[in-house]
Amino acid sequence: MRDQFDYIIVGAGSSGAVIASRLSEDPNVSVLLLEAGPTDTDSKISIPAAFSQLFKSPFDWNYETTPQPGLDGRTVYWPRGKVLGGSSSLNAMMWVPGFAADYENWGKLAGPEWDWDELAPILDTTEISVETQRDPRPLTTTFLTAITEAGHSIEEANSVQPKGFTQTQVTQYNGARHNTSQAYLKPAKRRPNLIVRTEALVEKVLFDEHTATGVSYLVDGARFETHARREIVLSAGAVNTPQLLMLSGIGDPALLGAHGIPVRVDAPEVGKNMRDHLVSLSCLEVDGGTLKDATKLRNVFTYLTRRKGMLTSNVAEAYGFVRTEDSLDLPDVEIIFAPVAYVQEGLNGIPGHGISMGPILLQPQSRGSITLVSADPGEKVIIDAGYLSDPEGADRATMLRALRMTHDIISTPAIAAVTNGRYLAPLGAESLPLEERLTATLEKTSHTLYHPTSTARMGTDESSVVDPMLRVRGVNRLRVADASVMPEIIRGHTHAPSVIIGEKAARLLQM
């Protein structure tokens, strides 16, 4: 099948759904949105506390990193959304846009159109519903009490320079998840100029010399082509976007040549510069009152009839920003709390009643990479996250300092009153001397916070993959708009800035 549209958007996630919706507001243009996964109608997507049940499901790309030497040689599971809404359909619904200073840094690296003054007004115009939690657990109040006992402050969420702790603001509407599919595609679905095709795996971008003309994609094993009169936008995320660029001949010539892919653009930074937030959680046993009971019949009934109760929880109900050294101008760590034993990300069930808390490394010095396995678009890429791999050991040192701060919170009277001192993760850690306990927590429990970025870096320099207008260098009529273009990872969570990138991309395309 061959057909033609003005714009083709690849990926219906936190950025792609936004772009497709905004462009199709103009009835004079036609837009095709291609998504590799299915629709987002499954009830587990809409029920907030059920998000970990989506892991390793048909809605998940189900990636795994290479063994990570810094994490005791463990591989780390990476869930990524393969569904309308992308990872906004799988995430913990935390709306944490980050610090104004991080966007000021974007402006330095990618031009003034990406600084805080330019992006802050866009943040105020998104269609995402952001709400306070409807029914947080009493244990979350206990945690915030412990925070004050440990000498930290409590503040309202999402100031331009956060410096304390708060309950999480969540992307929900009436107690249900509000992903970009619900926020942007649902209102646009009746527009005749927007076509959404699901379960369509894009193989590569098609070119006429150095001008992008279309894409080829697979549906149930059948191959199709579609062509763009104006532009093509890759919004497939920090893993799949660099994969598509490389499959299309844009990347490191040596790596492309190893897989028999003709080189169209010599772009060695494609798939490089990957950064991710690493989180390390301590889980302590408590008597009850946790989300382990969320699926009990009375809680299901409360949710279905009143949209209240445990099932409205986003799990990560509180967090805060801290500096692990007084000399720092801005926080280098976020400490997160969940009123549940979030052991192994819930993949093997919840081992008992517990609470989880621990640090997130906000500005990692370590770098990872995305690399092709073959020229087959159906094969998963190699993900080397590079956790704690920086030569100076700064990331490891920061996390150990942050784990000591977490231990101070665990040692407060408020937490001591609700725990019995036994660790569910690392299991049996209460028997270890403190330094060994911190090291075991870092090496044995750390995993991704699901925020990979920067694998198709945007910049003003010629070595960047895309320019400040999001145009892929070396070709025409091809742009990238998703977390892969972030010049640097932010001190926050990547959903909000990915939505901002989508909004900004739509404006750039309409110029």
Measured CA to CA, the distance from residue 244 to residue 18 in angstroms comes to: 20
Measured CA to CA, the distance from residue 327 to residue 450 in angstroms comes to: 29
Tokens of 391: 């030569």
* 468 CB-side CA count, 13 A: 13
Tokens of 120: 């802050």
Fill in the DSSP letter of residue 161: S
Question: Which residues are the active-site residues?
Answer: 451, 493
φ, ψ for residue 320 (rounded to 5)? -165, 160
Measured CA to CA, the distance from residue 319 to residue 328 in angstroms comes to: 19
Q: Which DSSP string corresponds to 11-37?
A: --STTHHHHHHHHTTSTTS-EEEE-SS
φ, ψ for residue 219 (rounded to 5)? -130, 115
Contact 59, 82 (CB under 8 A): yes
Name the residue among 223, 188, 196 with its Cα closest to residue 39.
196
**Greatest Cα-to-Cα distance within the chain, rounded to the nearest angstrom:** 69
Name the residue among 395, 511, 502 with its Cα closest to residue 122.
502
Tokens of 191: 């527009």
- Token look-up 């994490």 returns 71
- Token look-up 């057909």 returns 3
Tell me the three state secondary structure of residue 258: helix
Give residue 8's region: left, alpha or beta (phi > 0; psi -120 to 50).
beta
Question: Is 83 part of any known ligand binding site?
Answer: yes
Long-range contacts of 300-306 (CB under 8 A, 24+ apart): 303/47, 303/175
b/e map 459-487, b = 16+ CB within 10 Å:
beeeebbbbbebbbbebebbbbbbbbbbb
* 197 CB-side CA count, 13 A: 18
Spatial CB neighbours of 78, under 8 Å, sequence gap ≥ 6: 61, 63, 64, 65, 239, 383, 385, 448, 450, 452
Which parts of 220-353 are beta strand (E)?
222-234, 250-251, 265-266, 278-279, 282-286, 318-322, 333-338
Question: Is 202 part of any known ligand binding site?
Answer: yes
* Residue stretches of the annotated binding site: 83, 202
* Residue stretches of the annotated binding site for FAD: 83, 202
